[in-house]
Amino acid sequence: MKLTQTLSMGCIAIAAAISASCTPPKQQTAELAWNEQAVENARMQIGIEIDTIEASGKVLNPVTLTSEGDVYYCNYADWRSGFFPGSVWYLYELTQDSTVLPLARKYTEALYEAKNLTWHHDIGFIINCSYGNGLRLAQVPAYKEVMIDAAKSLCTRFREKPGIIQSWDVKGNSWQSERGWECPVIIDNMMNLELLFEATKLSGDSTYYNIAVEHADRTLQEQFREDGSCYHVIDYSLADGSVRHRHTAQGASHESAWSRGQAWAIYAYSMCYRETGNPKYIEQALKTFRFMKNHKQMPADLIPYWDMDAPDIPNAPRDASSAAVIASALYEISTYNIQEAASYREYADRIMQSLASTTYTAKQGENGRFILMHSVGSIPHNAEVDMPLNYADYYYLEALKRKSDIEKEQ
């Protein structure tokens, strides 16, 4: 039966309370640590967005800004649809504000039909960020089945010959077909494996785990350069599984280091290490991180250019989303039993202090009510250049949550 959540007539009042109650007195604000102030700012900014959504009488899902400066809202099938509901779950976890819970559930359950998506690989992003966090924090039993169903849908994209999950379909006159690809796999796809690991834990069926490991292993074999950086797209033959092309879709060139791709690799392989204990995964995550850390073009504030080989550095746009993903990954890495673990937390703190500054954090009520400014979607597609992005906010909040967890254990 389809999940529904009936909210009370006071939902707009709840949303208003969230935003109205979260402005601390000026003296208190001055006394807060940078990360505590970042949480308070996020609480206000998301509260204002919730006010806007609830006043509309609809379930809206904010993604970014249009070229005209209006907020772009997506539907459930958009690969980014899970990030705003996930951000609301993280807001609840960071603040323990129970008024957020019914809203988090409503925004999550609006994505119910996404569990059946089989035409793209990003169902992991959609479902794990929303339902996954909801299951973890609210223990809603029905969310378990949604997670498992979504994992089944993702597994329909597994291709046996190359041993990978195909990212994009190549049909008709699509831009993917114009590239000459047959079975493209992007590094982003590694992030969707967490859904499969979770599905095995929830169901006891090792099929999901095994597919995740096979995809991670083939990607490890084919997607990385000797210096630790990764290609964006590997195109495989469906007939024999061989590599046909090593390309990019969103980077500056086929051989360049597209920053968000490097961030996905660092995050995803640290996650694979957490789920499997296989040291080759954390070794790759750290190798890719060292590539980024030691890159001669890395800015002093540690917020990468959109591509580390962009032709117009130092005037190239920065990408706050890449920085947020890396910071979140590094906080988790710092909890592992590895050498110099504390150094990864310290580096993450430096990234996050930059993101929490006025250079990257928007004034309350501005920036389309997104938290972070200065992210890049895809410069080659002239899409979302120097714009806020909901996944930048999501991983920023996740990083704040992981930092909070570490400090509670100290």
Q: 84, 64 in Cβ contact below 8 A?
A: no
Please determine, for residue 350, whether its predicted confidence score (pLDDT) is greater than 50: yes
Residue in 95, 85, 89 with CA at minimum distance from that of residue 36: 95
Q: Could you report the per-residue pLDDT of 266-301, keeping only the tens digit for each?
A: 999 999 999 999 999 999 999 999 999 999 999 999
Q: What is the residue whose two structure tokens read 């890396």?
A: 326
Please determine, for residue 88, whether its predicted confidence score (pLDDT) is greater than 60: yes
Integer-rounded Cα Rg, in Å, for the chain is 20
Q: Could you report the per-residue pLDDT of 93-136, keeping only the tens digit for each?
A: 999 999 999 999 999 999 999 999 999 899 999 999 999 999 99
Q: At what angle do helices 259-276 and 193-203 cross, to 10 degrees?
A: 20
Please determine, for residue 26, whether its predicted confidence score (pLDDT) is greater than 80: no
The whole-number pLDDT of residue 172 equals 83
The whole-number pLDDT of residue 177 equals 83
- Tokens standing for residue 93: 């976890």
The whole-number pLDDT of residue 20 equals 52
CA dihedral 32, 35, 38, 43 (to 10 degrees): -90
Which are the catalytic amino acids? Answer: 122, 188
Cα within 13 Å of Cα(70), Cβ side: 4
Confidence of residue 310 (pLDDT cuts 50, 70, 90): very high
Q: What percent of the chain has pLDDT over 70?
A: 93
pTM (predicted TM-score): 0.94
Alpha carbon distance 272, 215 (integer Å): 11
Contacts of 403 (CB under 8 A, 6+ apart): 35, 331, 345, 348, 349, 352
* CA geometry: angle 384, 387, 392, nearest 5 deg: 100
Residue in 80, 75, 167, 165 with CA at minimum distance from that of residue 129: 80
Per residue, the 3-state secondary structure of the chain, as one string, reads CCCCCCCCCCHHHHHHHHHHCCCCCHHHHHHCCHHHHHHHHHHHHHHHHHHHHHHHCCCCCEEEECCCCCEEECCCCCCCCCHHHHHHHHHHHHHCCHHHHHHHHHHHHCCHHHHHCCCCCCHHHHHHHHHHHHHHHHCCHHHHHHHHHHHHHHHCCEECCCCEECCCCCCCCCHHHHCCCCCEEEHHHHHHHHHHHHHHHHHCCCHHHHHHHHHHHHHHHHCECCCCCECCEEEECCCCCCEEEEECCCCCCCCCCEHHHHHHHHHHHHHHHHHHCCHHHHHHHHHHHHHHHCCCCCCCCCCCECECCCCCCCCCCECHHHHHHHHHHHHHHCCCCCCCHHHHHHHHHHHHHHHCCCCCECCCCCHHHCCECCEEEECCCCEEEEECEHHHHHHHHHHHHHHHHHHHHC
Q: What percent of the chain has pLDDT over 90?
A: 89
Residue in 311, 306, 328, 313 with CA at minimum distance from that of residue 381: 306
CB burial of 33-70 (b: ≥16 within 10 Å; e: otherwise) equals eebbbbbbbbbbbbbbbbbbbbeeeebbbbbbbeeeee
Q: Could you report the per-residue pLDDT of 207-224, keeping only the tens digit for each?
A: 999 999 999 999 999 999
Alpha carbon distance 136, 98 (integer Å): 15
The whole-number pLDDT of residue 31 equals 80
Confidence of residue 171 (pLDDT cuts 50, 70, 90): confident
The arithmetic mean of pLDDT across residues 137-143, rounded, is 96
Confidence of residue 22 (pLDDT cuts 50, 70, 90): very low
